[in-house]
Amino acid sequence: MRIENLTTLLNGELKNSPKISMINGFCLDPNLVKVGMAYFALNATIEDALLAIKSGAYAIITDLSLNSKDDEIAIIKVDSVVMAMIRLMRFLSAQKELNFVHLTKLQSSILECLYRPKSLCLLSCDLNQAFMQIIEADNNAYMMSIDETMIDKLSFSYSSLNDDSLSDLHYNLIDNGSLFYTTILFKDNYYSDLKFPNIFIKDLVNIMSFFDRCGVGFRVCSFEAFSHFRAIFVDRFFNIQEFGQSHRAIICESDEDLFRFEASSLRAKFDDVIICVKAGSSVAFMADFIYKDISEIKKLGEFRYALILENFESLEAILTQDIKEPTLF
């Protein structure tokens, strides 16, 4: 890109008259600058800018008062480096004809568990990482993000994966007797016993359909890291059992909106369900069991499923800690 065009694009001011006229890349880290790059001095010091120059930068985009006698370096002064980055990201998004997709948090969590080609990119909510993802993106790639505000800044339009009518998606959920596994026939592809809670089948099928439209094969990497509707199986003494080796399961959900959906779904399907919520929670009105401390979960009576608004690690820690009984000695 020509220095003159870059300066105009960023709404900046060229502070010197450099001999060079072109740059061939962009960088945010002065330690990673290569010869010919433009360095965006975000939250940078003068020392960072000098390091970038020493490393071969052809241009420095900065909101600092930076003067250089080196006429091989273009100093572009901007009011805000962040806004300069967004301007460039917006320009490149249009130039590359990137397709932006707004995701729910649940859909993003599912996508993190799948194999994705470079053409399907989960756009980071961190501006620095998102900047580099846009820089490195191929033409016509799909940029998918839960951050609707960022998408609005980068694109005039975007789509979503939500489809309330799944009748035309050619899928069949096969009952395998477990809430925590999914067996599905999607078009002509059969997926058996995916370790994925079938309560979220709608979102999974929407993603399968999206992959199909993009001509991308649907392949699971691992659902082990999937963080929603995670079950811990316990015996009647609340000792943790192997997955699926008990008829009692405590289900953890940390997202309040998903918790509401899960509680309603479980109640509609099962009688022996207990909804557990910490005192003071905004969803306490849904609860069968309200506790002040998570350890009180061990006081639950008979149940098949207990849904709790907590993160998995907190509950697991409580269930695995040693119980020290008082002694006379």
Q: Could you tell me if 235 and 284 lie in one domain?
A: yes
User: For the residues of 182-249, what is the DSSP string, one character each?
Assistant: EEEEETTEEEEEESS-GGGHHHHHHHHHHHHHTT----B--STT--SSEEEEE-TT--B--TTSSSEE
Residue 152 is assigned to a structural domain of this protein = yes
Number of domains in the chain: 4
Residue 208 is assigned to a structural domain of this protein = yes
What is the CATH number for 21?
Answer: 3.40.1390.10
What is the CATH number for 295?
Answer: 3.40.50
Q: Could you tell me if 301 and 262 lie in one domain?
A: yes
| 123 against 65, higher pLDDT | 123
Q: Could you tell me if 189 and 237 lie in one domain?
A: no
pLDDT confidence of residue 165? 52
Q: Could you tell me if 137 and 73 lie in one domain?
A: no
* Domain stops at, among 85, 108, 141: 85
Whether the Cβ atoms of residue 135 and residue 24 lie closer than 8 Å to each other: no
Whether the Cβ atoms of residue 37 and residue 51 lie closer than 8 Å to each other: no
Can you read off the two tokens belonging to residue 89? 């990201």
Q: Measured between alpha carbons, how far is 60 from 37 in angstroms, rounded to an integer? A: 9
Residue 71 CB: number of other CB atoms within 10 A?
11
Q: Could you tell me if 73 and 127 lie in one domain?
A: no
Whether the Cβ atoms of residue 62 and residue 43 lie closer than 8 Å to each other: no
Residue 63 is assigned to a structural domain of this protein = yes
Q: Could you tell me if 201 and 244 lie in one domain?
A: no
Which domain, by its residues, includes 116?
93-160
Residue 32 is assigned to a structural domain of this protein = yes
* Domain stops at, among 85, 119, 139: 85
pLDDT confidence of residue 324? 47
Whether the Cβ atoms of residue 305 and residue 251 lie closer than 8 Å to each other: yes
Residue 109 is assigned to a structural domain of this protein = yes
Q: Could you tell me if 10 and 56 lie in one domain?
A: yes
| Residue among 130, 33, 30, 37 at smallest CA distance from 85 | 130
Q: Could you tell me if 75 and 26 lie in one domain?
A: yes
Can you read off the two tokens belonging to residue 194? 């995916």
Residue 201 is assigned to a structural domain of this protein = yes
Q: What is the mean pLDDT of the chain?
A: 92
The model's pLDDT over 282-309, given as tens digits with 9 standing for 90+, comes to 999 999 999 999 999 999 999 999 999 9
pTM of the model: 0.89
pLDDT confidence of residue 280? 93
pLDDT confidence of residue 329? 44
| 20 against 251, higher pLDDT | 251
The model's pLDDT over 185-241, given as tens digits with 9 standing for 90+, comes to 998 899 999 999 999 999 999 999 999 999 999 999 999 999 999 999 999 999 999
Q: Could you tell me if 9 and 55 lie in one domain?
A: yes
Q: Could you tell me if 71 and 111 lie in one domain?
A: no
Whether the predicted pLDDT of 321 surpasses 90:
no
pLDDT confidence of residue 136? 96
Whether the predicted pLDDT of 164 surpasses 90:
no
Q: Could you tell me if 131 and 156 lie in one domain?
A: yes
